[in-house]
Amino acid sequence: MNETGDVLLQVDDLKVHFGTKGGKADLFIPAVDGVSFEIRKGETLGLVGESGSGKTTVGRAILRTVPLRSGSVRFQTDCENVDVSNLSGRELRAFRREHMQLIFQDPYSSLSPRMTVRDIIAEPLECRSFGTRAEIDARVRDVAVKCKLNVEFLRRFPHAFSGGQRQRICIARALAANPEFIVCDEAVSALDVSIQADVINLLMDLQSEFGLTYLFIAHDLSIVAQISTRIAVMYVGKLVEYAPTDAIYHRPMHPYTRALMSSVLTLERGKTFAPMVLSGDIPNPAALPKGCRFSTRCPFARDACRQTEPEWREVEAGHFLACHFAEELLGDAANGGAAP
């Protein structure tokens, strides 16, 4: 995995707002509210957070399958730096076919029951006018083998396969057009634990072989640690922490990140499982609290947290977060204080 390479994807101040059912122009829900990050070539960025935090919307906004309110998504191809947020129509569709693909969460509903495995994998190639029928068939067989699918499976329909095999078909379909960037939207959450490990290992092998770049969206932190180079933690439409994987797992600084990390089971000797229980519920995105969005659930919130939104800042090299008192809380925890 590449930790020092060129930036492939640059997201700046990304905002996606959805209108309410009433249709009033002055009422909206900020599903994604000013998110910025970068992904380097050949690395995996893990995007984590509770359900409803906006993770999937970020992935779909990058692919431009949902409308952007503001912000930019820039993609560095071999020839030029493309502002994907300004593309539309045929240009956008052509760019996505060439450079970006998506692996869906549910392998059961994301495959057409009326198409054979061969036709499913070949569809992106046929949309690109890849070549003759023989050339497409050769590419499909090659991709199937790399995704550990028996070529005899190509004549069958999706209903004949297990969940893990179906997800391999989805991965093969995404890989067929030879993209540079793949959004993995909860790509293993619908699978059994043993199958999850196989699919994660397959994704890592393919990344190593083809130099792929992933945005890996998930809520299982143990899986994210296995595959990710860096991790971004999201809460109610905003990033609260963004750092290399080792920093997030061994030295989390934001209270929300610490609460998430405390819920991860460990088999290390001498360590006890003591999850940090958060009181209250996630705030309503249509009626967000003043100040820090996590202040309504944070056990260390102070008056400043409830009045002023924390600044997104770099506290260490490559380690960003939004918390007024993160360093102080970390020091308290190191000295045996009340911080988690």
> How many residues are given for the chain?
340
Report which of 105, 107, 110, 83 is spatially closest to residue 95, judged by C-alpha positions.
83
pTM value is 0.89
Q: Say what percent of the chain tops pLDDT 70.
A: 91
* Per-residue model confidence as pLDDT tens digits over 81-95: 999 999 999 999 989
Weakest-pLDDT range from 13-27, 195-209, 215-229: 13-27
Report which of 174, 27, 164 is spatially closest to residue 107, judged by C-alpha positions.
164
Q: Say what percent of the chain tops pLDDT 90.
A: 63
* Per-residue model confidence as pLDDT tens digits over 119-136: 999 998 888 778 889 999
What's the average model confidence in pLDDT over 289-303?
A: 92
- The pLDDT value given to residue 338: 46
Burial grade of 306 (CB within 10 A; 0-12, 13-18, 19 or more) = middle
Residue type, 169: I
* Per-residue model confidence as pLDDT tens digits over 54-83: 999 999 999 999 999 999 999 999 889 999
For the chain, how far is it from start to end, CA to CA, in angstroms? 31
* Per-residue model confidence as pLDDT tens digits over 16-33: 998 766 555 567 889 999
Mean pLDDT in the chain?
88
Query: Would you say residue 34 has pLDDT above 70?
Result: yes
Q: How sure is the predictor about 35, in pLDDT bands with cuts at 50, 70 and 90?
A: very high
What's the average model confidence in pLDDT over 272-291?
A: 82
Query: Would you say residue 3 has pLDDT above 60?
Result: no
Place of tokens 């209250």: 280
What's the average model confidence in pLDDT over 171-196?
A: 90
Cα(315)–Cα(303) distance, rounded to whole angstroms? 22
Contact 119, 140 (CB under 8 A): no
